[in-house]
Amino acid sequence: MALDKIGIAKRIAQEVQDGMYINLGIGIPTLVANYIPDALDVVLQSENGLLGIGQFPTEDEVDADLINAGKQTITMRDGSVLFDSSESFAMIRGGHVDLTILGAMEVSENGDISNWKIPGKMVKGMGGAMDLVASAKNIIVAMQHTSRDGESKLLKECSLPITGLQCVKKIVTNLAVLEVQDSGGFKLLERAPGVSVDEIKEATAGKLIVEGDVPEMKID
């Protein structure tokens, strides 16, 4: 069966390595903070001026003044710091973020990403997405494999306004883990439990590369 949002977040948490500085986008990526193994020493950064984000608060821990870029209340780890957004973006643009995890509306088979605007719909702006995808050392996308009407979101070319070009390295969806190849195409690395390769092929409009037996994801 396909993964839910928590399953996607748990699988992405397996990509986190000790010592990383990580930016989590709004939506599914924020859930990753709850599933990073305690043994790993990582620092979570939010572009509104936070370094050292902890897990989401319990009801008695909520502080309305402590929010992430998605306006969700958060906790802070020992040693965390607060600063203005200009300093936060200096960190991002300076290449000091090791990993960015963010959502997407579309990803192309050469790693282009569209995640900030749907033409005709009002948006407040692109936020920090363009800076993040242009500057991070590694980018993982967390997304649903298809839209609500069943159309693939993994495409030959993006149809929506582009956020960044040839920047996405890996994608974790409700159906699969895929790696964007330098020569183009989505290499299928893992399947969601109970999901077949044929189902993933059917849901992928871009070039899908399947080599040998594709294992199922292991989600604890």
Known catalytic residues?
Answer: 47
Q: How far apart are CA 195 and CA 105, in angstroms?
A: 22
φ/ψ of residue 131, rounded to 5: -65, -45
> 59, 71, 62, 64: which is closest to 25 by C-alpha?
71
